[in-house]
Structure 1
């Protein structure tokens, strides 16, 4: 008796999933709306009080919210002068240098980490900003 009921539930779940994927239009991965990208750029520039950065691009983002709070990671590509300005701004905000290009702000309610990726002689670098909170 339990097996046929289980099969019905599984079949119903598959049908609902197929209908949702077919009927609900979705964007291709990586096709973020320009206004969202602009917001993500302004968020990091405002948080670190860096207004001299030009040609900053969002190259990745992740956000999860649950009962424990939120966790967000944003990755950016930027010209080297901007990457250096971000590093200086992180130190000015109280970030402490850690391992592998990571700077950490220990805040019990909202810890943050900023990781820099650079190569000698490169014209562009990258940085990731990870933050959590309630």
Structure 2
């Protein structure tokens, strides 16, 4: 096979890495905002955005966050619903449910062994004592 064709085929099937969302720290946002505020000549803000690889909409959003006081140290909110704090009673219930499931498995195994014991005693002709009788 032609090496050029094979190389092209390999390049076609190459898997690219999945894109990731960029995250910016509050310090970085404040630094870029301060630098944008210092820009006075036309085109300086655009050059700043190109150099940093940012969109102008990010500057607008970051200004809103700064004005609302959301860019102070440690005040960045995490995305998504708030994490649920595990309750002590919920933890105890989960623990008891796990124990119950284990006990049910052991019970089924014991019942299966008793059934097997009954069948073996029937085959061998050995009479087992009744549950209400003492051996």
Q: TM-score, normalised by structure 2?
A: 0.20
**Relative contact order: is structure 1 or structure 2 higher (C-alpha 8 Å, sep ≥ 6)?**
1
More helix by share: 2
Larger radius of gyration: 2
